[in-house]
Amino acid sequence: RRYVAGGQCKSTAKLEGKVVIITGANTGIGKETARDLARRGKVVVACRDIAKAEAAASEIRAETGNQQVIVKKLDLADTKSIREFAERFLAEEKELHILINNAGVMLCPYSKTADGFEMHLGVNHLGHFLLTFLLLERLKQSAPARIVNVSSLAHHGGRIRFHDLHGEKSYNRGLAYCHSKLANVLFTRELARRLQGKSQRRAEFTANALHPGSVHSELVRHSFVMTWLWKVFSFFLKTPWEGAQTSIYCAVAEELDSVTGQYFSDCQPAYVSPRGRDDETAKKLWSVSCELLGIQWD
């Protein structure tokens, strides 16, 4: 059980006066990440399901005594919702110190987002890509700031299929998830390179990715087989609290103040697949993502 639990964030860093956004923080590791960070500072819970988000936020407020746990609507499957969220946030909050791109979908039957993107790519990668783009200036103004992207060990099985990004020629729900998690790693790598190049001090902006571990959560709800396996082998899975530890570590650990463009698992650096270290693919994915979203991000 202790082996399965993995690493634990030991940092006691406070986030007094600081603001954190966590996407998908109404359940699973996102909720546990929000619960921990609410003991340290102000947390914005950004979720599609407002009722679930309010219930989670109410629970966290009662447990931590922190009334600065704010719920805002964000549907990562709709770029209009993402832009509306960013517009409201920027109007109401003058600072943003940590952005945790946590929300995700897994093993979805073939479907598309409101903008016509394949669901895994659209939510797990493009939605967070656009959100980060819209909030980046506020992060820069609040520096030092951190961007944390929740990826997965599944990125090892992914590849960026530029000829069929939206799975219209062939589609496998498991591979689609792997492709989107590889996109998270490549986005992190290219983002870190660009931020580092424009920053006078490397510590001003950092972007890191992570694998939370195999976690007993609602993420497998789209697959009957995986849901059954998760129940049968639950003893060998991390709890959401255990799965949240590396997200928390990447968000607050003092030793990561100047670490950027890295990939972590169990609160320590982890191996990245060769495809996840391909700078040319990372640059091309960046360019294609901008084109799909209709933005210019130089």
- Residues annotated as part of the active site: 177
Residues 6+ apart with CB under 8 A from 173: 107, 108, 109, 110, 120, 222, 223
Give the integer Cα–Cα distance in Å for 213 and 61. 27
CA distances from residue 259 to 148, 235, 243, 266 in whole angstroms, order as listed: 12, 34, 21, 16
Give the integer Cα–Cα distance in Å for 27 and 221. 13
Question: Dihedral through CA 180, CA 182, CA 183, CA 188, nearest 10?
Answer: 140
Backbone angles phi, psi at 175, to 5 degrees: -65, -35
DSSP 237-290: SB-HHHHHHHHHHHHH-GGGTT--S-EEETTEE----GGGG-HHHHHHHHHHHH
Give the residue among 166, 189, 168 at the shortest CA–CA distance from 275.
Answer: 189
183: its two tokens: 């996109």
Residue 19, SS3? strand
Looking at residue 90, the DSSP 8-state letter turns out to be H
279 Ramachandran zone, left/alpha/beta (phi>0; psi -120 to 50): alpha
The distance of Cα 113 from the centroid of its chain, to the nearest Å, equals 18
